[in-house]
Amino acid sequence: MIKVGTNYYYEHVSSEPCPTCGRGGETEQLHIGKSSVGWVFSLRIHPNQGIKTLEDWKARWAHGGQIRDEYGEFVSVDEMLNLITQRSHSNGLRRHKPDPAFPLDCQPGEGTYDYCNYEFS
């Protein structure tokens, strides 16, 4: 299957299950971003969770958890980093244009990714 646009998510257990009844152990899911053919990677930031840069994502991934794409496939941290930082397209990569009305919504990243501070699919 050719994937022209794929979302990626970081999942980790946000609480331990109750030792008595076994309930709990909630899994939290954070949107990492989206890979679309011909575009820089849309790297989703979560300022309220301390994730404002790619380095913040790397630190989060170092604490465990797992990365999955929207199709349920597991992705390693190395694969995720390559998807974000090693992008190219024969016509060049398009960047997201910041909207002056919403200056914090999308800003250029340090490489082949933009930082996006909004919900998207």
Q: Which residue in 72, 5, 88 sits closest to 42, CA to CA? A: 5
Q: Note the pLDDT of residue 67.
A: 96
115 contacts 43 by C-beta, under 8 angstroms: yes
Instruction: Name 1's Cβ contacts closer than 8 Å, sequence gap at least 6.
Output: none
For 6-10, 41-45, 63-67, 105-109, which range has the lowest pLDDT when averaged over its residues? 105-109
- Nearest to 115, CA basis, from 56, 65, 74, 28: 56
Lowest mean pLDDT among 15-19, 88-92, 105-109: 15-19
**Position 21 pLDDT exceeds 90:** no
Residue 20 vs residue 71, higher pLDDT: 71
pLDDT for res 99: 63
Q: What is the pLDDT of residues 30-73, one digit of tens each?
A: 999 999 888 899 999 999 999 999 999 999 999 889 999 999 99
